[in-house]
Chain A
């Protein structure tokens, strides 16, 4: 299939205005920039979809949709909240849930009258560095885990099995699966010194 034909079909649409947070590599209306983004993330997104149990063809379609959604929604990416990879992950994860359930999972809604706000200071410009420092600490803590623990966490995120399914496929009680991931999380928290909130 001609890859360029598809690119010109969508990328000629006028891109939404950037609020200044669109990563520089995602210049609007630039098919080459899209191809670079695709080359960088599509293999990992497709690998994720395959591990979540989708057949090759569906995994491919979902990957295309996720990459296009990333491109189209790039202006809503907020580097003060999360890294770009994290944002790609949440889009891929939500697409995956929608596909499995044929509907979106209900999300907490800040406009809900029930919403309880944090008393912490709302994110300001300085939080960008806080977010970066948090990512670095997580990165170091993760590198410091032993292979088994890291693998247990990778499995939770990317193999996409529920605890019950994992227990069935391994032939062990659900509690065993739970305690394995719990130990990995605890090890990570310990390395972060006092839990995620203090990272």
Chain B
């Protein structure tokens, strides 16, 4: 039986780094959102974590440090607790909560987040999540919107939360849960599906490099 869920996944080395706990905060947060929507990658993650366990059992002697003088327990008062401190869950309007996975909810700048006008056909919610010096954000496009031909001076990592986006350069279609990664200086044009608005989380690790006049205008205003 085919699995439900997305068909475009993060790069394998990104899931590996997530399992290892070495992804930057912006990427672990967006990975957690993809994992919420993707049973396939959750299964992969189980295997990648299991791999760490097997390595510890079979090759762990290479890791070993001397603990002969280490007391068995931390000092009762001075030492912080090993329990994870999970921040309280913010109140997010129902419409957004049903669309935006919980891992992002802690990063809304406003107590009640809502989409704000950015340019005709584009609105956004900035997030307090740093993606390589640039804020990660939720962007909503009107149906049929065209992001003119452009490239980026860094990785473009996006996760679709609703609607559809077509990468006109590769012909690939992206829907809820799908991840699109375009490497530095990959030139591409993105078309939004005509039936419904498209909401996506964008991380741009470098500024846009527009290739057309329209693109230059748009990139000035929107930063895409």
Contact = CB atoms under 8 A, between A and B. Distances in A.
Interface of A: 1, 3, 6-7, 9-10, 34-35, 38, 42-44, 46-48, 50-51, 59-61, 63-69, 81-90, 93-98, 101, 103-109, 112-120, 134-135, 138-139, 142-143, 150, 153-154, 156-158, 160-163, 178, 181-182, 185, 188, 196-197, 199
B39 interface: yes
B53 A65 contact: no
A64 B75 CA distance: 9
29 contacts: A6-B72, A6-B73, A9-B76, A46-B64, A47-B65, A63-B67, A64-B71, A64-B73, A65-B74, A68-B73, A68-B82, A81-B46, A82-B46, A83-B57, A86-B53, A89-B49, A89-B56, A104-B84, A106-B32, A108-B36, A109-B102, A112-B36, A114-B101, A118-B39, A135-B50, A138-B54, A160-B20, A188-B51, A197-B44
Contact of B50 (A86, A104, A158): A86
Given A46-B70, A47-B65, A98-B84, A85 B46 contact: no
The size bracket of the interface on B is: 35 or more
Given A88-B56, A142-B54, A185-B12, A105 B28 contact: yes
A129 to B, nearest CB: 15
A48 B52 CA distance: 12
Contact of B70 (A63, A98, A108): A63
Given A60-B67, A83-B50, A85-B52, 16 more contacts: A34-B72, A44-B56, A46-B66, A65-B79, A94-B84, A106-B106, A108-B32, A109-B36, A115-B36, A116-B36, A135-B50, A138-B50, A139-B57, A157-B19, A160-B20, A160-B22
Nearest to B94: A113
B29 interface: yes
Interface stretch (B1-9, B115-123, B144-152): B1-9
Contacts, number: 237
B79 A64 contact: yes
A101 B20 contact: no
A185 B57 contact: no
Nearest to A60: B70
B110 interface: no
A43 B48 contact: no
Interface of B: 1-5, 11-13, 16-17, 19-25, 28-29, 32-33, 35-40, 42-44, 46-60, 62-67, 70-74, 76, 79-87, 97-104, 106, 177
A47 B67 CA distance: 9
A137 B202 CA distance: 38
Contact of A163 (B5, B13, B21, B177): B13
A30 B11 CA distance: 45
Contacts of A120: 1, 3, 39
B48 A196 contact: yes
A6 B77 CA distance: 12
Nearest to A91: B82
Contacts of B83: 69
